[in-house]
């Protein structure tokens, strides 16, 4: 799931790299398009508009989810939060391993914090986070990441998701705890994993 529509999006470039990495590990990728997700409407959660129903279906079928979103004005890009608000009622992210990333000027710390919180609030298991600062200095003229350390960190981020998917429930809970506790989230909220 990409939270930027920019043609030269750094977050999309990071997802492209991670996607290549996961395909190398024989994983199949589905894109979750949020461009046409309307403003969240609490009265429609049981019969959501088509783009929302499609998003739910893709998320529900996924072994794991990668989300890369910009930070705008000190917070998570609004369209991403709006899409995630729709997923609360469907429980489509409940106990699903999720890796979150934000590429942006200052490294997306506020966006990552908000992603971790809102995902944890709906029972998603955030198993990896990554912030990439000053992405334009780490990429070529087409926006593709070229800085070796950044490329390696994105690949490790994707690998962490794949690894978490294949873990037993106890190990996965340990991984989630390690990731979310620094954000002030009590891992007890996830209950027992199966």
Ligand X SMILES: Cc1cc2nc3c(=O)[nH]c(=O)nc-3n(C[C@H](O)[C@H](O)[C@H](O)COP(=O)(O)O)c2cc1C
- Of 114 and 120, nearer to ligand X (C-beta) is 114
Q: Quick one: which of 1, 9, 66, 185 contacts ligand X (CB under 6 A)?
A: 9
- The burial class, CB within 10 Å (0-12 / 13-18 / 19+), for 126 is buried
**Per-residue string for binding with ligand X, 53-92, x by CB under 6 A?**
-----------------xxxxx------------------
| Interface segment toward ligand X; rule CB under 6 A; list 1-9, 25-33, 169-177, 186-194 | 1-9
* Least separation in angstroms between CB 170 and ligand X: 36
d(CA 191, CA 189): 6
Q: CA angle 145-120-89, nearest 5°?
A: 110
Q: Would you say 5 and 77 are in contact if contact means Cβ atoms under 8 Å apart?
A: no
Minimum CB separation from ligand X for residue 163, in Å? Answer: 25
How do 75-76 and 65-68 pair as beta strands?
Answer: unpaired
Cβ-count burial of 142 within 10 angstroms (0-12 exposed, 13-18 middle, 19+ buried)?
A: exposed
- Which H/E stretch holds residue 125? strand 125-133
Of 2-10, 27-35, 41-49, 90-98: span binding ligand X (CB under 6 A): 2-10
6 binds ligand X (CB under 6 A): yes
Contact segment (CB under 6 A) with ligand X among 6-14, 48-56, 163-171, 180-188 equals 6-14
Nearer to ligand X, 7 or 28 (CB): 7
- The pair of structure tokens assigned to 51 is 């783009």
Residue 174 in contact with residue 168, Cβ under 8 Å?
no
Q: Please give the residue ranges that form the binding site for ligand X (CB under 6 A).
A: 4, 6, 9-12, 70-74, 103-106, 108, 135
């Amino acid at each position: 799931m990409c939270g930027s529509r920019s043609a030269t999006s750094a977050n999309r470039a990071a997802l492209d790299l991670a996607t290549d990495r996961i395909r190398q590990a024989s994983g199949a990728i589905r894109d979750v398009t949020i461009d046409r997700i309307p403003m969240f409407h609490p009265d429609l959660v049981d019969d959501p508009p088509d783009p929302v129903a499609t998003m739910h279906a893709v998320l529900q079928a996924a072994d794991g989810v990668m989300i890369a979103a910009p930070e705008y004005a000190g917070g998570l890009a609004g369209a991403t939060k709006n899409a995630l608000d729709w997923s609360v009622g469907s429980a489509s992210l409940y106990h699903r391993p999720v890796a979150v990333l934000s590429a942006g000027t200052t490294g997306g710390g506020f966006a990552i914090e908000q992603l971790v919180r809102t995902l944890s609030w709906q029972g998603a298991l955030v198993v990896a986070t990554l912030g990439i600062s000053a992405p334009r200095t780490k990429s070529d003229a087409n926006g593709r990441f070229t800085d070796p350390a950044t490329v390696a960190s994105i690949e490790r981020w994707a690998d962490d998701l794949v690894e978490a998917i294949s873990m037993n429930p106890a190990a996965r809970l340990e991984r989630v705890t390690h990731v979310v506790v620094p954000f002030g989230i009590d891992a007890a909220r996830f209950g027992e994993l199966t």
